[in-house]
Structure 1
Amino acid sequence: MDDDAPKRISKRNGSNIKNYHHYRVEIFCQVVDLLTQEMENRFSEASTDLLSCMACLDPKNDFAAFNVHKLVHLATLYPKDFTSTQHTELFKQLETFVDVVRRDARLNGIEDLASLSQKIVETKKDKVFPLVYYRLIELVLILPVATASVERVFSAMKFVKTDLRNKMGDEWLNDSLVVYNERSIFASVSNERILKRFQDMDTRRNQLSRLTDARAT
């Protein structure tokens, strides 16, 4: 790496450039810059700020990424879940929370937030830090699932609400999206059960025939 890079690759101001400089500055750093730019274009500033705050609750390496101010800022992003009075109380609980967790041997070596939340309940620390556990940690655990579910629904709309169905009402659209997104669950429901449920919903002049009977005829 301390050797001069080939002149045909890089040469500036008449002086040879080392291999280390060539591969780190001219290749590695440029690739990192391109990836950073691509990430900034993909995610908005609000999303990046949210992810940065959520990462502060990562229990890896003895809460190395823990930041009280960013976690309080996360709470301010959800005013319906945290009042202005609770922001001050949350700040105090967070300062004490990280010290208590680091000293408790039962909570050492935890690598993910889900396992941490289980241990907090087992050690009854959720009673001592209600805002940290029942509000903040649960919020961070729910957000990725809620966000992914919303993205799935919007992606499914182009398959459900087509040009031929552009006048469907909100209720019918909602029911159709539920069936489409949870199709693996609905696939386990037999057609006979669906027919029976439809038949029992109201008194009908004719009884629907079972699918097994229809195939036989």
Structure 2
Amino acid sequence: MAIDLPSGIPGQGRRRKMPERYKYSATSATEDQQYQSLDEYYRVRVFCVFLDTISQELQRRFKGGDNTTWGILNDFHCMTVQDNWKEPVNEEAFKSLQKLCQFYELEEVDKLRLELKIFYSSFPCLPQNTAATMLNLMKENNVQEILPLMLELLTIYATQPVTTATVERTFSKLKLVKTKLRSLSSEERLSDLLLLAVEKDITINNSEVISIFKEMGHRRVLL
């Protein structure tokens, strides 16, 4: 990212006196820790904290009381393990594939297994077995139409939400759209205005919009 790292460890030079009652607290223990290098500082204060936040968010959002969604995520992961689809096919991985097909109402589980075998035999040396990497590889080699079931499930797996940032941005946009002058807007109109505000990057064909509006009913003004 072309960001220059500081030459010294941040906050290591200045020390503040901690009150006696906070001496053995978790916060003070973290702040009093001495780091030997910049790598150690960013690994402890940034990298590990980031991984811990992601892990807690996944646990909170996906591991419900019956562990159903957490099990679905594990079933998705079996698709990205190359050794599962070598001959003989791993039985546990095949059972996970059956659960996925049942959950998403896909009846061709044998066809999906064949697609996975074809994919891994065609690309035996993958740099990283992740859903995003596999999807990019499929698009680069134009094999989406050959592996439709695999493409559908990998797309679902790659777009699983981890945080609520998108939802929070939508609520922030709602504060800008619903002003005092629009306080009496109907729910449908407010939803349409919010959709236009959130998805403003999507190009709109004006001619198509006019045609749809024209076909809605007779108007006094000709379009």
Give the TM-score category using the shorter length. Answer: 0.3 to 0.5
Structure ID, larger Rg: 1
Greater relative contact order: 1 or 2 (C-alpha under 8 angstroms, separation 6 or more)? 2
Normalised TM-score (structure 1): 0.45
Structure in which a larger fraction of residues adopt helix: 1
Normalised TM-score (structure 2): 0.44
